[in-house]
Chain A
């Protein structure tokens, strides 16, 4: 209990320190852009590979539900609402946590264990500024891009199932795509991605930065980074959904 509270306090201090260094100069611009590029390149395939089949599954089950009412033409509206608002932010960010977050924790953990972080400090270089801030900023910037990629591939997945597997008319799919969604939904999904990216970056870097106990400790840090980041942003997601898309009962 006390241990947990102490960890929470240490995390808050760590987060505040990182946030302060993000808004004050100087910035490691080269290092940051390298991390953004690396994160997008690393996560691109996994995001597409997960969201695309999920779009296909949505179409499969959605056709089942709409066929009961003879409303198959509404399929693409449902797919686009679900993908933009919910599926793509959550699934893509799960992949960012699994691929990018765990890589952050592994890299920083290895640097901590091999005393490279101490070496950085001894050379009078702020290790938070040099190693942590670029990674957190990269997660913040890359997540919305990846969520957009995910959204497009989810809609494409729905299209493939509806048109090529189930033989629905192609034009109807595109015509109803924007029936229930607006640019606000797309923007809402990107806001979510930005918040989730921040959570992933901070949690993963925290776990790696404070890793202890040799190679096994690095494994533990990676494990914790993924699990904690995903759990936290799924919880935050519910509140964000209610706040952004406002669903308080009509009574």
Chain B
């Protein structure tokens, strides 16, 4: 409970610091580039294999009912709307989120954050704002790339491993995914990105001293952000698609 209050206070400070001063553009570009490029390879691998799996499982679920042609629809509903945004959030939390938490935690125990304050620089503005804006810039793009990879790979499995008709797949997938749905996915991922960044930076700021403290902060950052994204996903789905 006290942690939650401290977190809300932390978000307030970040919001005020971000709005009062425009953040340095060069730092934002640096962070956006770092988060995007470092998360991309694992994201591609994970989306590719989630896509292949989705096709196999969809086939298993629908074949007994004689509905294996519906696999395109299944991939579009389960993969595009739900799995891709959550998966991107989980991987970005695991990769970029843990990095933010451990970097900031190391700065905290190295007293570099105190040094910033001594120089009258707001550490929230200097450390958190560029990361926040950076992650918000790249995460919708990462989600789109992940959706594309996922659908491509499940198409490959459906056509070449399971021997289904490719035209059916494309038609059903395209009919189920309207452009609005892609926008909704981007909106979801923006919310997830903000949560990941704020939670990770929060745990980094409030780390306990020593190597064990940095480890714990990193651990807490990834678990808390993944759990809150998954829980919020239901609410967002209900609002956006329900």
Contacts and interface: CB of A to CB of B under 8 A. Distances in A.
Given A60-B237, A65-B74, A230-B46, A50 B230 contact: yes
Interface residues of B, number: 60
B60 interface: yes
B102 A222 contact: yes
A245 B55 CA distance: 13
A98 B211 contact: no
Contact of B211 (A94, A214, A223, A230): A214
A190 B174 CA distance: 35
A61 B61 contact: no
B60 A65 contact: no
A165 to B, nearest CB: 8
A237 B211 contact: no
A120 interface: no
Interface in A32-74: 46, 49-50, 53-54, 56-58, 60-61, 64-65, 74
A130 interface: no
Contacts of A180: 61, 64
A250 interface: yes
Interface string B67-88: 0001001100110011000100
Contacts of A98: 93-94, 219, 222-223, 226
B67 to A, nearest CB: 8
Contact of A86 (B57, B64, B70, B93): B57
A237 B53 contact: yes
Interface in A227-244: 227, 230-231, 234-235, 237-238, 241-242
Contacts of B238: 60
Nearest to B94: A226
Nearest to A112: B211
Contact of A60 (B49, B103, B231, B241): B241
B109 to A, nearest CB: 6
B95 A222 contact: no
Given A60-B241, A226-B94, A102 B53 contact: no
| Count class of interface residues, chain A | 35 or more
Contact of B42 (A56, A91, A231): A231
B212 A49 contact: no
B222 A226 contact: yes
Given A61-B77, A215-B109, A78 B45 contact: no
B211 A53 contact: no
Interface string A204-229: 00000000001111111111001100
Nearest to A71: B65
A238 B60 contact: no
Interface string A74-111: 10011001100110000100110011001101110110
Given A95-B223, A95-B226, A219 B161 contact: no
A100 B149 CA distance: 29
A95 B61 CA distance: 25
B102 A94 contact: no
A217 B210 CA distance: 12
Interface string A110-152: 1001100000000000000000000000000000000000000
B98 A226 contact: yes
Interface of A: 46, 49-50, 53-54, 56-58, 60-61, 64-65, 74, 77-78, 81-82, 85-86, 91, 94-95, 98-99, 102-103, 105-107, 109-110, 113-114, 180, 214-223, 226-227, 230-231, 234-235, 237-238, 241-242, 245, 247-251
29 contacts: A46-B223, A57-B82, A57-B233, A61-B77, A61-B78, A86-B57, A106-B218, A110-B212, A214-B211, A215-B105, A215-B210, A217-B211, A218-B212, A219-B102, A219-B105, A219-B215, A223-B98, A227-B98, A230-B42, A230-B94, A234-B45, A237-B53, A238-B49, A245-B56, A247-B161, A247-B162, A249-B161, A250-B163, A251-B163
